[in-house]
Amino acid sequence: MASRKLEGKVALVTGGSRGIGAAIVRSLARGGAKVAFSYVRSKDKADGVVAGVARAGDVAVAIKADNQVDAEVVALVAKTVERFGALDILVNNAGIGSIGALAELPIAQIDSMLTVNVRATIIATREALKHIPDGGRIINIGSIVAERTPYAGGSIYSLTKGAIAGFTRGLTRELAPRRITVNNVQPGPIETEGTKAEGPFATILLNALALERFGQVDEVAEFVSYLAGPDAAFITGANLNIDGGFAA
């Protein structure tokens, strides 16, 4: 039987309908938490995640919210608290990325990355802190490209993830008196629906990996669940790589 160290907790995961986010939702629910998560367009996939969690005897709810709209991020937190009556764990997972030379990237794409990856993370955290009790958890999902970007065209995406690393460190000092831990998980290349471990770009990434393989979503999700649990109470302010040696 899976450990139920999150029994009685309420978690919110932004961007939880697919990929790493969906795996995090499932892992937190297996740990005993009631989990709300957001989606933008993938209603069928979001419903599938909810149904899968329910079949396992656990609880998850999907809430439509676009991280590009401030009011929807604010409402997402409010709806989570309205649904479950509390909020103990926030996982800022939603993110987007565009690869391209800076001189050629449309300003709209740059704005979208800054809004979804940075601004929405700040707003969700700000709103969540109105409800998260002492001893709560904030976990950001950054990226190893905050430390190493071994390909051209990733400058803005890397910038956004570097911002999350700095935000994590600064917020840690602010929330330490309340024993709220703040950590940043930095995945390396992870195999998802949108990121396949094959093709020319995948080869570039594989050549940078000490373990010579892409990671799996469940490997990231279990790491996040550990950080959300009681055994990680002394880990805070950390930018934690789960990258197969990508940055080694």
Higher pLDDT, 42 or 240: 240
Residue 204 lies in a domain: yes
Q: Which of 39, 151, 157, 226 is catalytic?
A: 157
Give dist(CA 182, CA 171) in Å, integer: 7
Predicted TM-score of the model (pTM): 0.96
157 catalytic per annotation: yes
Residue 50 lies in a domain: yes
Residue 4 lies in a domain: no
Share of the chain above pLDDT 70, in %: 99
In the predicted structure, residue 5 carries a pLDDT above the cut 80: yes
Whether 169 and 159 have beta carbons less than 8 Å apart is answered as no
Who's near 97: CB < 8 A, 6+ residues apart?
A: 113, 117, 154, 157
Residue 234 lies in a domain: yes
SS3 at position 11: strand
Residue 247 lies in a domain: no
The whole-number pLDDT of residue 200 equals 81
Number of domains in the chain: 1
The whole-number pLDDT of residue 2 equals 62
Residue 97 lies in a domain: yes
Structural domain harbouring 64: 10-242
Residue 5 lies in a domain: no
**Mean pLDDT score across all residues of the chain:** 96
Share of the chain above pLDDT 90, in %: 91
Which amino acid would we find at residue 79?
A: K
* Number of residues in the chain: 248
Q: What is the pLDDT of residues 78-125, one digit of tens each?
A: 999 999 999 999 999 999 999 999 999 999 999 999 999 999 999 999
In the predicted structure, residue 194 carries a pLDDT above the cut 80: no
Residue 191 lies in a domain: yes
The whole-number pLDDT of residue 3 equals 81
Angle between helices 19-30 and 217-228 (to 10 degrees): 50
Q: What is the CATH number of the domain that holds 217?
A: 3.40.50.720
